Amino acid sequence: MHPLAALAFCLCTAAMAAAADLRPGYYADSCPQAEFIVRDVMRKASFRDPRSQASVMRLQFHDCFVNGCDGSVLLDDTPTMMGEKLSLSNINSLRSFEVVDEVKEALEAACPEVVSCADIIIMASRDAVALSGGPEWEVKLGRKDSLTASYEDSNEIMPSPRSNASYLVDLFSKYNLSIQDLVSLSGSHSIGKGRCFSVMFRLYNQSGSGKPDPAMELKYREKLDKICPLGGDENVTVALDATPEVFDNQYFKDLVSGRGFLNSDETLYTFPKTRPFVETYRDDQQKFYKDFAQGMIRLGDLQSGRPGEIRRNCRLVNANKHSFIGYGGKNMEVS
């Protein structure tokens, strides 16, 4: 069995058990103001930098796909562990870790050693969408934080911007996520920006042809040619859709018009299995909102079942590794 397939099987098996232990209102007694605190910090962060909303939301995707929603993506490297921040899909891409630090600091002041960093990602992602004008949903909480992170697993699992829809359908199915989940969750690109690095091959060498991607609308391509010239700075950022600070269905309208930024975006429209969902969400924003919220909940259910803890600092494993340790999704302590 391919390592990714084996990992996905274990992850989904663990998720079925652990997801049942996650529940809304998990902190109602132990930290009743937890969700209010997260929303308040997110609101202030969005005033300082509107892009932080998209950046924080992306953390849920990059965390949950790699060994479940366990906060592993937040861990800094150590002399004995290379974490996930420098993996190919994350380096020079993931950002706003300091916003999570601010949330954690506020929660530790109110309720020390109670709220996990993994749950902070889930709450903050929901708030990022809501504060951008998108849907609200009730989050299930009760996750533990991982004791380690894996550079190798992140590289093995996270898809490249060059991925096509067929590959993504297969990837999502390994996590028991449907085609509907794939297309609706891809709508997360309704907010935020991408780097020129991620689109250069579409502009100048699609599929090794030495030519641009024929699916790209001409005026949009000419615009990107100016922002992302061959030989230019590939870290320059470009809006992922025409309304990058508003969570709406413009992303799907852009795909239908040939103005999808990433290859993994545009092929959702050109691939027969995913195209009907793109067209549905283009025409029905409320349907998109509903399916996106359901997809985020299902994504949040991914758990590895590995031992975990409540980190005091989201960037570091606790010095006393036997404090507040449990198993992902279960409220346990071991002395």
Q: Which two tokens stand for residue 41?
A: 């910090």
Amino acid (one-letter) located at 182: L
Single out the residue of 286, 298, 290, 274 nearest to residue 249, CA to CA: 286
* Sign of the alpha-carbon dihedral angle for 131, 132, 135, 139: negative
Tell me, yes or no, if 2 is annotated catalytic.
no
68 is in an annotated binding site: yes
For residue 277, what are the contacts with CB-CB under 8 A and spacing of at least 6? 179, 180, 183, 184, 268
Alpha helices in the chain (DSSP H): 3-18, 34-48, 51-64, 97-110, 117-131, 151-157, 165-174, 179-186, 200-204, 218-227, 250-256, 263-270, 275-283, 285-300
84 is in an annotated binding site: yes
243 is in an annotated binding site: yes
Active-site entry in 58, 62, 298, 311: 62
63 is in an annotated binding site: yes
189 is in an annotated binding site: yes
241 is in an annotated binding site: yes
Q: Residue 13 phi/psi, 5° resolution?
A: -65, -45
As annotated, the binding site includes 63, 66, 68, 70, 72, 84, 159, 189, 241, 243, 248
As annotated, the binding site for Ca(2+) includes 63, 66, 68, 70, 72, 84, 241, 243, 248
Residues with catalytic annotation? 62
As annotated, the binding site for heme b includes 189
